[in-house]
């Protein structure tokens, strides 16, 4: 049985807490590894190593730090297949989807090559008599990231790449469900030229998370996961005086207007709702057709497409649409919520609960389900299902549809499908959601823009990647300097003004 420890000071080290967690192959249900779960003393040791290494790294000029990112891009391309296979084996994603996970992280690494430009300060010559003023963007010190199981390559890179290129050391606490890829990424960073100790991977559970929150050396925490845990980490981290950004759950709505291209809508919904078995915070889980005719046409077109989805293991070929969910517990929760939808009166147009794959009966596979006539008081609407389930909530008018989206407690992503530019513009301007798609089902911004939701989907005032990342992982120091040129005015006991 493979034993997965931690990556500390450039070395793979065994855990010392005596606690471990099983790592599964979701396609077969078998345990393929055991991962160590760190205690506070192990986290403290990793932080001490990071703190000792960080000052010398921060002292390097940004161009030299950016060259590590240049090399990392090359290594990610070189090892793309290896990373995707490891990701698929522990998560269950198809190989093309796993490669996409790596690529969307790689794009942030590419963006970080521009660090010398992003880290420039400001300068004012002659701000006063003999006075110059300038600002510097300086590293925070030791930063930490707590990342989820559903994107074990992309989200760690969203955090550690900008943090490190800004001159920080970084402690990554990945999900214990699929820890191999984060460990591989840390090794690649050092192969790219990162000094030992700047990036550490400490595997663990809540005990490791609490150690991060409590550690006085750690200056910032990034988190992606469920809303309750996001609130817990945000509250604890802020109370400890840290800079914190936490991204939580979602219930993403897609409004379908009567004039929308229905073929395009169905293609978009199928991929955005059922890709990665629905285990995406940006999955479109609620379709909101406007008008009875639109809704009837949508359901009629969706049913055969949902029924024909091919579900299988990542080894099943590139024509597999999606694989298993990550654990048996996740499978049970999804099936339970589907049953609750039936019990509460929704119309189950396609029932995926009975899906079983020959030869993989012990795998965590869940069939695709499609609901119609869902109402906002039902559990399948109120809860984030995080599985291959699409709920259809019918709206009589555009005003009803936009109110439905705006009243929801989550505000991660949303989309509208229409041919009318005025409607699309109105929707984009009015909707209280952080990321908006116009005829785009999963509006995840590219690396040079920022990613972040609103309402209960995000906690903190800065988004991930893009320019916000360089703001989050640095603090600004402003210097006012004066070099007297012979004039002596004596002491001044009033606040200086620009008279």
Residues annotated as catalytic (active site), given as ranges: 281
Instruction: Return the closest-CA partner of residue 268 out of 305, 230, 231.
Output: 305
CB 388 within 8 A of CB 274: yes
Q: How far is CA 408 from CA 191, 344, 378, in A?
A: 45, 19, 13
CB 142 within 8 A of CB 171: yes
Annotate 115-180 with DSSP letters as a single string. HHHHT---EEEEEETTEEEEEEEEE-SEEEEE--SS-TTHHHHHHHHHHHHTT-EEEEE--TTS-H
For tokens 């703190």, the residue is: 51
CB 276 within 8 A of CB 368: no
Torsion angle of the four alpha carbons 431, 419, 264, 335, in this order, in degrees rounded to the nearest 10? 30
Helices (H), ranges, 289-354: 292-307, 328-343
Q: How far apart are CA 24 and CA 329, in angstroms?
A: 12
CB 210 within 8 A of CB 226: no
The pair of three-digit structure tokens given for residue 366, joined into one six-digit string:
């869940």
Q: How far apart are CA 276 and CA 283, in angstroms?
A: 9
Q: How far is CA 257 from CA 170, 220, 370, in A?
A: 46, 43, 19
Q: How far apart are CA 436 and CA 429, in angstroms?
A: 10
Beta bridge partners of 392: 287
Q: How far apart are CA 439 and CA 381, in angstroms?
A: 23
Dihedral sign of CA atoms 313, 320, 372, 291 in order:
positive
For tokens 């930490």, the residue is: 144
- Name every residue whose Cβ is closer than 8 Å to that of residue 78 and which is 6 or more positions away in sequence: none
């Amino acid at each position: 049985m493979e034993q997965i420890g931690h990556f500390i000071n450039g070395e793979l080290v065994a855990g010392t807490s005596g606690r471990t967690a099983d790592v599964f192959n979701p396609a077969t249900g078998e345990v393929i590894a055991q991962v160590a779960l760190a205690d506070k003393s192990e986290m403290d040791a990793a932080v001490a190593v990071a703190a000792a290494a960080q000052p010398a790294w921060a002292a390097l000029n940004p161009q030299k730090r950016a060259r590590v990112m240049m090399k990392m891009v090359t290594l990610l391309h070189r090892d793309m297949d290896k990373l995707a296979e490891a990701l698929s084996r522990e998560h269950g994603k198809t190989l093309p989807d796993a490669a996409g996970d790596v690529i969307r992280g790689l794009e942030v690494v590419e963006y970080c090559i521009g660090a010398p430009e992003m880290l420039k300060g400001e300068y004012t010559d002659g701000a006063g008599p003999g006075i110059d003023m300038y600002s510097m963007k300086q590293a925070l010190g030791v930063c930490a990231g707590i990342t989820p199981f559903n994107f074990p390559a992309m989200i760690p890179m969203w955090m550690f790449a900008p943090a490190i290129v800004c001159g920080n050391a970084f402690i990554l606490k990945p999900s214990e469900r699929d820890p191999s890829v984060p460990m591989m990424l840390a090794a690649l960073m050092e192969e790219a030229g990162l000094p030992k100790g700047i990036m550490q991977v400490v595997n663990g559970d809540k005990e490791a998370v609490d150690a991060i929150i409590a550690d006085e050396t750690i200056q910032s925490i990034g988190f992606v996961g469920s809303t309750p845990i996001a609130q817990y980490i945000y509250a604890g981290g802020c109370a400890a005086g840290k800079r914190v950004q936490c991204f939580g759950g979602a219930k993403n709505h897609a409004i379908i207007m009567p004039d929308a291209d229905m073929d395009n809508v169905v293609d978009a919904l199928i991929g955005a709702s059922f890709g990665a078995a629905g285990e995406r915070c940006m999955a479109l889980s609620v379709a909101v057709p406007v008008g009875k005719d639109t809704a009837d046409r949508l359901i009629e077109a969706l049913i055969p497409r949902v029924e024909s989805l091919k579900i299988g293991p990542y080894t099943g070929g590139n024509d597999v649409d999606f694989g298993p969910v990550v654990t048996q517990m996740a499978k049970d929760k999804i099936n339970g919520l589907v049953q609750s939808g039936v019990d509460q009166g929704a119309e189950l147009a396609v029932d995926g609960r009975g899906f079983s794959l020959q030869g993989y009966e012990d795998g965590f596979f869940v069939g695709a389900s499609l609901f119609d006539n869902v109402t906002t008081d039902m559990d399948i609407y109120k809860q984030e299902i995080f599985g291959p389930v699409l709920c259809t909530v019918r709206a009589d008018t555009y005003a009803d549809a936009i109110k439905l989206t705006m009243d929801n407690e989550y505000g991660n992503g949303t989309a509208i499908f229409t041919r009318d530019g005025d409607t699309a513009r109105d929707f984009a301007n009015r909707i209280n959601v952080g990321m908006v798609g116009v005829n785009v089902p999963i509006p995840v911004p590219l690396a040079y823009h920022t990613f972040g939701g609103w309402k209960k989907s995000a906690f903190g005032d800065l988004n991930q990647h893009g320019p916000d990342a360089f703001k989050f992982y640095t603090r600004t120091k402003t210097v006012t300097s004066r070099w007297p040129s012979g004039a002596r005015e004596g002491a001044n006991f009033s606040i200086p003004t620009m008279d």
